[in-house]
Copies of this chain bind each other. A is one copy, B any other.
């Protein structure tokens, strides 16, 4: 993967992040070690730690809490995924059984609580008050995003504003925090912090939109979960919202499914998922992610000259074109 080559410069630090995540989540009692290890082994792109580390290169200080911040952000992300999977009754993520499937909902809920608690404990070791402030605000927004997502399930008449606000809270703010906190912990100046935060925010928006597109256009093998999971679970993402606006047949079919999301109707909606995946709504959704990507690249341009800018640009373009 091209990304890995781009990231070779931060490999030693990413290894440290990985070790620290393992160390932090491998606590007694054994049940938690089991669920945490299961989650860890499932991997993930570790996008948030990557952005923390890369953003931190802009600052002069090497003394900051960069690794701890990177680990805390990944833990918060992991905890929220575990809880999301309970809501969606998801059985598979990243090609492996979810905690709620392999164990049960209660175990998944408390595993999420535990991982979240560990991230809070890690945070309290950080000295810089701004780190606390940004992170606790982001966690607050993340839980609001979770609640909105739950409330908006099976809700057909959603506008784009609602979708964008939701993905901002659920995804973009956590990635914006990654670049912002990386910058803060390496003592970047205020203007650099602002631009790096902006970069993270726009990348986060583009990243989630593409995630939502791939849920339609990719394969079960690449996704590590069934194609169209979002729509099947009643989550309206950008391609669906656009399809509802653009295409009456899709709209009727989705309406019927949301009224009665039985197994039988699940079969019927799969045709609609396929229809959307080859519809102009996908191109329209890509236009949105491209627009956010452009803004991310603009934010990057306004940063002072630095070798890491090239890496960040590559990652932005890679994420904008990724196929899984």
Whether B83 lies near A146 (C-beta < 8 A) is no
> Would you list which residues of chain A between 245 and 272 have a CB under 8 Å from chain B?
none
Whether A29 lies near B144 (C-beta < 8 A) is yes
Whether A136 lies near B124 (C-beta < 8 A) is yes
Stretch of A147-155, A175-183, A224-232 lying at the B interface: A147-155
Stretch of A114-122, A273-281, A305-313 lying at the B interface: A114-122
In this complex, the member of A107, A132, A133 whose beta carbon has the largest number of chain B beta carbons within 10 angstroms is: A132
A42 to B323: give the CA distance in the assembly, Å: 50
Whether B121 lies near A27 (C-beta < 8 A) is no
A123 CB contact (under 8 Å) in B86, B105, B136: B136
Whether B146 lies near A110 (C-beta < 8 A) is yes
When distances are taken between beta carbons in the complex, the residues of chain B under 8 Å from A114 are 140, 143-144, 146-147
When distances are taken between beta carbons in the complex, the residues of chain B under 8 Å from A32 are 144, 147
When distances are taken between beta carbons in the complex, the residues of chain B under 8 Å from A124 are 129, 132-133, 135-136
Please tell me if A142 contacts chain B, counting CB pairs below 8 Å. yes
A135 to B28: give the CA distance in the assembly, Å: 19
Interface size on A, residues (CB 8 A): 40
A132 to B135: give the CA distance in the assembly, Å: 14
Q: Given A124-B132, A124-B136, A87–B113 Cβ distance below 8 Å?
A: no
Please tell me if A102 contacts chain B, counting CB pairs below 8 Å. no
Please tell me if A139 contacts chain B, counting CB pairs below 8 Å. yes
Please tell me if A156 contacts chain B, counting CB pairs below 8 Å. no
Please tell me if A322 contacts chain B, counting CB pairs below 8 Å. no
When distances are taken between beta carbons in the complex, the residues of chain B under 8 Å from A140 are 114, 117-118, 120-121
A106 CB contact (under 8 Å) in B116, B129, B150: B150
- Which 10 residue pairs are nearest across A and B when measured between Cβ atoms? A124-B132, A121-B136, A114-B143, A124-B136, A117-B143, A87-B106, A117-B139, A113-B143, A110-B147, A110-B146
A residues sitting closer than 8 Å to B (CB atoms) are: 27-29, 31-32, 83, 86-87, 105-107, 109-114, 116-118, 120-121, 123-124, 129, 132-133, 135-137, 139-140, 142-144, 146-148, 150-151
Given contacts A29-B144, A31-B151, A120-B139, 6 further A-B contacts (CB under 8 A): A32-B147, A86-B106, A87-B109, A107-B150, A121-B136, A124-B129
Cβ contacts A to B, 15 pairs, < 8 Å: A29-B151, A86-B106, A87-B106, A87-B110, A107-B147, A107-B150, A109-B109, A113-B143, A113-B146, A114-B144, A116-B116, A117-B142, A121-B137, A124-B133, A124-B135
